[in-house]
Amino acid sequence: MNSLELALMGIKNLLRRKARTILTVLGVIIGTASIVVMVSLGLGMNKAFEQQLEEYGSLTMIEVYNNRGGYMVMSDSGESSSVPEGEVAFNDETISTFENIEHVEFALGMKRFDGTLYAGKLQSWAGIMAVDLEKFKKLDIDLSEGTMPSADGVNEVLMGFRVSEDFYDPNSRNPYSNQSSVDVMNTKLEVVPSSSYYDGKRPRGFVITPTGLTSEEDWDYAWDIFIDYDVFTKLKADFDRRNKNNDDDNGGRKRSRSNEDQDKYDQMKISVDDVKYVQEVQEQVKEMGYEAYSLTDALENMKQTSGLIQAVLGGIGAVSLFVAAIGITNTMVMSIYERTKEIGVMKVIGAELKDIKRLFLFEAAMIGFFGGVFGVVISYGISFLINSVLSGMSEGGGYYGVGFLSDIPYWLALLGIAFSTFIGLAAGYYPAVRATRLSALEAIRTE
Amino acid sequence: MTKHSEVVISVKGLRKVYRIGNEKVVALRQIDLDIHRGEICCILGTSGSGKSTLLNMMAGLEKPSKGTILIKSEAIEKMSEKQLAKFRQRNIGFIFQSYNLLSALTAIENVAMPLIFRGMPKALREKRAKKYLKMVGLGDRYHHKPTQMSGGQQQRVGIARAFVGTPEIVFADEPTGNLDTKTSIEVMHIMWRMAREKDQTIVIVTHDPEVALYADKVVNIRDGDIQSVEERPEDDVYEKFIKPYEESFITADDITEAASAAL
Ligand SMILES: Nc1ncnc2c1ncn2[C@@H]1O[C@H](COP(=O)(O)OP(=O)(O)OP(=O)(O)O)[C@@H](O)[C@H]1O
Ligand SMILES: [Mg+2]
């Protein structure tokens, strides 16, 4: 018997007992819908976490620190200047090592220098981040104004938006209590690449040209001034030469040449091509002996929590689908009682055992399938309702802004249908086997 | 009976004992019987004599307690359920006393059913089913459901269904049991015609003497034993009943009379 004929026969059988079929399907609909909605809430929660994290920074970024960095800076003793065995370098070679890891798009080295920023009478502490501008541009930083700097212009820099807000007048009576903002984009700014406080006469620094200001939404780059690494090191070397009598010492000059090479950077960012590889890359980086952090660490934690919640919610759904499965089995067993004679006749006039078995399995699977399809459709409806209610709440409070919403990706819909069909098949197995075991003779005799 | 040389069904030392609790019911004691190709064999006997039991075992619906049944030299009592189902599909047609048509299906769908199991394409099997419905005189009832037909019409659908797959053997358990005499005679005519056309073997269980008139071989059973076997010359039935009835030389009443005379 071919499958199409079997399917037609099965569908006819189901339609013959409409009321009961519909009621059984209804059970499956409720079961499927509850599982799908429950899982969708869990998924929505994950999605909300991700969105929230996205606001703190990019999820595909790994921050890398040299784990002996602190030790080097703190110690002034001679032994610190040589790199102890087993410790790792943090230079351009490191970058190419990172970039050779699978799924890494690029690695960016950064070094922070302390500096002071002067705008007319006002001044401010400033962190100066020396970076490779070519790669820095790829970071996808939101700007509220202007463009990204380049290495070609005259000391072009990108300003973190917070930098403009902490200026003070050192000559005022109470310099730190009334801080003022400066329109950094339109003011002449001079940088002294040293954090030492200069009483009276300050050394001459260099003028910088801000080309852009970071967006107030992006807190990752809010505090610093970003400048090209090579441009800055040259400026700093000039400055240090001009002020060599000064007792300003940031430690760098004491280091041996080789050590400076080892520690060209104090921080790196690794960009990974997809969130799902971030943990993997991060592990590899850690194995090389670096400290590595990424927002996916937090995400991982949150996912564990929401996984637990999902399991509980899914479990509730599973119970109702289990009840539905019992409903299917019950319906099919009833159907066998009703159709005993029919089954017997079919056997006598030439049905093979596998035909009978397949027929019953098909009918049960169809109940599962249609229950799944309508269940998923209804889930989308419920999901829509939940989302509109939650977003309605968020208009009032704002706290629920990200709130967890229900999210049904297409794979969940397909999985829901596949699962309920499978449940139908499993529930139909016992009745199907029973139908094949039925003695044809007994079956024909029943009236 | 020279023409029917090949033995299609061979029953040897067949015994069937039913056990109900501690009690034993011997339905068949010791049956030896050969049925040849193309024969119309009638198993005649009183109620409870074991006719149905014998037929069911020959059709592979029940297992014997002892003895063997060879159909086309294959011992069917040794076959598994699965093998039996396949064997029935290919070789056996069955006509029931209570018709047993599938009530949800039309005449044409009922007749086509055995062909579906064989995997015959729809167009072909509908053509086949129509042809057989025409042969049983229901050319105008293709799309009627069983409930919309009389008993005689339903049984004719049942006959078409049994013959549609051209099985070598058709078993019929009291096919005329629910029909009046005239209808019974018509049904027997149809069965006789169909069987002869393709040289098929029919085994009919009955206690209708009219039905027995159409048999080439009549096996009388009593209390689980064969009491006598009557064989008739090959053209006897045709000459005495089929031809005269079809040409309206005799009526159903004449046949009924002949039947009671034969008793
Ligand atoms: N399943 C069964 N269980 C127990 N006893 C049975 C069973 N089937 C038949 N018998 C017994 O076997 C004997 C023969 O029964 P069978 O049905 O073959 O008779 P029959 O000749 O067909 O009678 P009828 O003309 O009334 O149909 C009877 O005594 C019956 O009680
Ligand atoms: Mg009987």
B229 vs A49, higher pLDDT: B229
Write down the pLDDT at residue A399: 41
Q: Which of A85-89, B144-148, B165-169, B238-242 has the lowest mean pLDDT?
A: A85-89
Average pLDDT, chain A: 81
Average pLDDT, chain B: 91
A171 vs B11, higher pLDDT: B11
The alpha carbon of B53 and the centre of ligand 1 are apart by a number of angstroms equal to 6
Question: And the tokens for B69?
Answer: 């049944």
Cβ of B102 within 8 Å of Cβ of A440? The answer is no
The CATH classification number of B36-62+80-232 equals: 3.40.50.300
A378 vs A213, higher pLDDT: A378
Residue listed under structure tokens 């802004």: A401
- A–B interface: beta-carbon pairs under 8 A: 60
- Any A CB within 8 A of B175 CB: no
CA B152, CA A84: separation in Å to the nearest integer?
Answer: 106
Write down the pLDDT at residue A43: 82
What would the mean pLDDT of B135-141 be, rounded to a whole number? 92
What would the mean pLDDT of A344-373 be, rounded to a whole number? 94
In which band, very low, low, confident or very high, does the pLDDT at A33 lie, cut at 50, 70 and 90? very high
CB under 5 Å of ion ligand 2: residues: B 52
CA distances from A58 to A157, A269, A284 (A): 22, 11, 19
CA A9, CA A362: separation in Å to the nearest integer?
Answer: 10
pLDDT digits (tens, 9 = 90+) for A317-331: 888 888 888 989 998
Is ligand 1 within 6 A of the CB of residue B93? no
Q: What is the per-residue DSSP string for B99-145?
A: ----TTS-HHHHHHHHHHHTT--HHHHHHHHHHHHHHTT-TT-TT--
B113 pLDDT more than 60: yes
Helix (H) or strand (E) holding B256: helix B252-262
Q: Which of B52, B98, B203, B211, when mutated, tests ligand 1's pocket best, judged by the most ligand atoms within 8 Å of its CB?
A: B52
Q: Give the ligand at the shortest distance from the Cα of B50.
A: 1
**Cross-chain CB nearest to B116 (options A1, A341, A345):** A1
pLDDT digits (tens, 9 = 90+) for B168-227: 999 999 999 888 888 888 889 899 999 998 899 999 999 888 888 889 999 999 999 999
In which band, very low, low, confident or very high, does the pLDDT at A187 lie, cut at 50, 70 and 90? confident
- Any A CB within 8 A of B60 CB: no
Nearest CA-CA distance, residue A350 and chain B, Å: 4
* Per-residue H/E/C for A250-268: CCHHHCCHHHHHHCCCCEE
0.80 cut: is pTM over it? no
Q: Which of A28-37, A93-102, A108-117, B2-11 has the lowest mean pLDDT?
A: B2-11
What is the percent of chain B where pLDDT is above 70?
98
Confirm if B125 and A361 have CB atoms less than 8 A apart.
no
pLDDT digits (tens, 9 = 90+) for B59-75: 999 999 999 999 999 99
Please tell me the residue having the least CA distance from ligand 1 atom 25. Answer: B47
A295 vs A80, higher pLDDT: A295
What is the percent of chain A where pLDDT is above 70?
85
B50 vs A397, higher pLDDT: B50
Write down the pLDDT at residue A245: 52
CA A296, CA A292: separation in Å to the nearest integer?
Answer: 11
Write down the pLDDT at residue A200: 61
pLDDT digits (tens, 9 = 90+) for A114-167: 888 888 888 888 888 888 888 888 887 888 888 888 878 788 888 888 888 888
Q: Which of A246-255, A264-273, A296-305, B116-125 has the lowest mean pLDDT?
A: A246-255
A396 pLDDT more than 70: no
Question: And the tokens for B115?
Answer: 């062909």
Write down the pLDDT at residue A73: 37
Nearest CA-CA distance, residue B56 and chain A, Å: 8
Is ligand 1 within 6 A of the CB of residue B206? no
Write down the pLDDT at residue A324: 87
Write down the pLDDT at residue A79: 41
Q: Which of A56-60, A80-84, B255-259 has the lowest mean pLDDT?
A: A80-84
Q: Give the ligand at the shortest distance from the Cα of B53.
A: 1
CA A213, CA A222: separation in Å to the nearest integer?
Answer: 9
Please tell me the residue having the least CA distance from ligand 1 atom 16. Answer: B50
A398 pLDDT more than 60: no
Angle between helices B81-91 and A295-348 (to 10 degrees): 60
In which band, very low, low, confident or very high, does the pLDDT at A295 lie, cut at 50, 70 and 90? confident
B101: which residues sit within 8 A by CB, 6+ positions away?
A: B110, B146, B154, B157, B158, B161
CA A49 to chain centre: 8
B254 vs A22, higher pLDDT: A22
A74 pLDDT more than 50: no
Cβ of A444 within 8 Å of Cβ of B96? The answer is yes
Q: Which atom of ligand 1 is nearest to the CA of B16?
A: 12
Question: And the tokens for A422?
Answer: 């499978």
- Any A CB within 8 A of B123 CB: no
